[in-house]
Amino acid sequence: MKTFLLLFLIPFTSAYSQTHLMDSLQNVIRKNGEDTNAVIAYRALAGLSINTDLEKGILYAKKGVELGKKLGFDKGVAGCYLNMSSLFSSLGKQDSAFIYNDLAIQYAKKVGEPGRVGLVYLNRADLMMKVERFKEALIFCDSGRVYAEKAGREDLIARAYANVGNIYYLQNNYRDSQGYYEKAFPLFQKTGHVRMLGIIKNNIGNVHKHLGQYELAVKDFKEALKHAEDAQDKISLPMYYSNLSDVYAEMKNWKEAEKNGDISLKYARSTNNNHQIAFSQLLLSKVYLNTHRYEQSLKAATEALAISEADGNLDQQESATQLLSDTYHKMGRIEDAYVFALKNKTLNDSLNKSRFEADVAKLQTEYETQQKESQILLLEKENQLHQQKLKKNQLIIIGSVLLSLMALASIGLLISRNKARQRTRELEIRTTLASDLHDEVGSSLSSIFLLSQVIKNQQNQDRKEELFETLTRNVKETVDQVRDMVWMVKPDEESQLAQRMERFAYDICNGLEMELDLKLEEVQDLNMEQRRNIYLIFKEAVNNAVKYSGGSLLQVLLKQSGHSIILQVSDNGKGFDPNSPKNGNGLRNMRRRAEELQAKLDIHSSPGQGTMIHLEYHPN
């Protein structure tokens, strides 16, 4: 089960009691009206709102920016932009967070205070961590530390070290991570940041847990709890107790795991932290399951599932459904175990799909960034050679020859590197697909096993036949999944898209009263991602037509005309309203895949008029 690593965007605010301070700041605004004190108050209110009301905090920050610009108070504008960036990041809107952080950097440099610039750079590093751009995050950490040293700000130097520790931790480099946490700790001790001492000890505890050094992890989490209690940090206390509970569970010390899980749950309820309540209940459910208290395990996992469903937290939903399935299985309630195993499989599929798409997007971003860096280096080299040519006319002929040779060499090197990056990228995607294959097959086989147990214990013959049909269908779907995924990554079958489509269409229509009209041409020059997206759009469209249209004719067209690839799937069924909000994930998936291809997707349908899905794609 996941442990909590505490990362930290640093809001620009003061350190008084939050309730007292917010009341005082509201009075400052009412009393002073439009002056610099009001800007400072808006900035502080925005920072404090990170722990209370994010949307309201953004409004405070915007009012502070507006008033600060009106008064020419650049220092206040910089602080408001910084807090606005942190608020948007907490909302999960990272694009907006980067925009406002850029503005904060501009105004901080305009003010010229090294400490302020260092603070903004450290927040930039944290934003980079959140989008897994770790190389850039390290650069901003280093820049932030340099400015902090110029300002003599040991608290910011400590934060820079802590951020570097987080970056290495997120890349599973636990040894280096621990080294930077240990650099940060004495600086936080020196500056009296008690809450940060707790955060650092918690993170070191997570390092020791990942390294299997459980006794050290217990010691670290207990020290983190002491610092949190000294700082009256009620937000962090339930996290630290749950981390301590989790490491005791790893040690099979169920008594201590339960004790600390109960305390974590109590603190989480006192702060109305639903995410933490769910996490604590998952820990307790695991304890109850392993100590054979199945009813308590069900109760804890059920509450965790309800909270995670309300919050849309798929990771917690997956853990909860797995615990419920395992508990019901231990109780001999096989049908209930099977129901939650199916739910767990669906969640597992969704998470694997999201992770795969995130990995692909990350690889694409890295690939494009490397291309741009290579182009910039090439342009800089050409510019340098051009300047030399102007200054040394007597060497113009030699310089021109050298320029041409270097340009050709650079272009050749760039092409070679691009091909290597593309091969590496495809290999990484294939590796991810292989991992997805393992997860999906494992989950499907688990469901098949549980269903077979249900059939074995079923006395009603009609029900047994119905379940056997479901089992047969699940086995076929699993086999089809494996075949599809293997086909997608086999480079020697890149030209077999039409054959694959034909086989799928005939298989799904076999035995149905639906006439099939196929006009399929082989298409050329598609890479693995392009071929995969086109095939999955086709598969979704055919599935929808067969399952929901109620029509008697299904027509599929695939052709390559010049530089365009046309895919068209149509039926003469009952149709639907494409703009209805009730439409399911199928249409959204097709539109998203078309966007990834940068292709044009048209969906023509209306009630009683059938449906036509038309995709036009220009590979080049």
* Chain segment 380-434, per-residue pLDDT in tens: 556 566 666 666 656 666 666 666 666 676 676 777 676 766 676 666 566 656 6
Whole-structure pTM value? 0.56
Instruction: Identify which has the larger pLDDT, 432 or 117.
Output: 117
Last residue of a domain, one of 481, 504, 526: 481
Write out the two tokens for 333: 């309630």
Q: Which residues pair with 604 in a beta bridge?
A: 612
Residue 16 pLDDT class (50, 70, 90 cuts): very low
Are both 442 and 496 inside the same structural domain?
Answer: no
What confidence score (pLDDT) does residue 9 get? 42
Question: What percent of the chain shows pLDDT beyond 70?
Answer: 78
Are both 458 and 578 inside the same structural domain?
Answer: no
78-101 pLDDT per residue, tens: 999 999 998 888 887 888 999 999
* Number of independent structural domains in the chain: 3
Distance of alpha carbon 581 from alpha carbon 278, whole angstroms: 30
Are both 477 and 508 inside the same structural domain?
Answer: no
Amino acid identity of 352? N
Mean pLDDT of 139-161: 93
Last residue of a domain, one of 428, 458, 481: 481
530-580 pLDDT per residue, tens: 888 888 899 889 988 888 888 999 999 999 888 899 999 999 999 988 887
Are both 324 and 415 inside the same structural domain?
Answer: no
481-529 pLDDT per residue, tens: 676 666 666 645 544 788 888 888 888 887 777 888 999 988 877 887 8
175-224 pLDDT per residue, tens: 999 999 999 999 999 999 999 999 999 999 999 999 999 999 999 999 99
Q: Are 247 and 205 in contact (CB under 8 A)?
A: yes
Write out the two tokens for 319: 């853990």
36-55 pLDDT per residue, tens: 888 888 888 888 877 667 88
Distance of alpha carbon 274 from alpha carbon 278, whole angstroms: 6
Other beta carbons within 10 Å of 380: 10
Helix, strand, coil fractions of the chain, as percent rounded to 5 = 75, 5, 20
Q: CATH code at 581?
A: 3.30.565.10
- Taking CA atoms, 114 is separated from 149, 188, 215, 423, in Å, by 8, 20, 42, 44
In a domain, 586, yes or no: yes
Residue 532 exposure: Cα atoms within 13 Å on the Cβ side:
21
Helix (H, G, I), strand (E, B) or coil at 503: helix
Q: Classify strands 515-520 and 611-617 as parallel, antiparallel or unpaired.
A: unpaired
What confidence score (pLDDT) does residue 291 get? 95
The values of phi and psi at residue 275, to 5°, are -60, -45
In a domain, 134, yes or no: no
Are both 564 and 504 inside the same structural domain?
Answer: yes
In a domain, 236, yes or no: no
Residue 10 pLDDT class (50, 70, 90 cuts): very low
What confidence score (pLDDT) does residue 434 get? 61
Domain that holds residue 290: 246-331
Mean pLDDT of 262-289: 92
What confidence score (pLDDT) does residue 292 get? 95
Are both 356 and 458 inside the same structural domain?
Answer: yes
In a domain, 46, yes or no: no
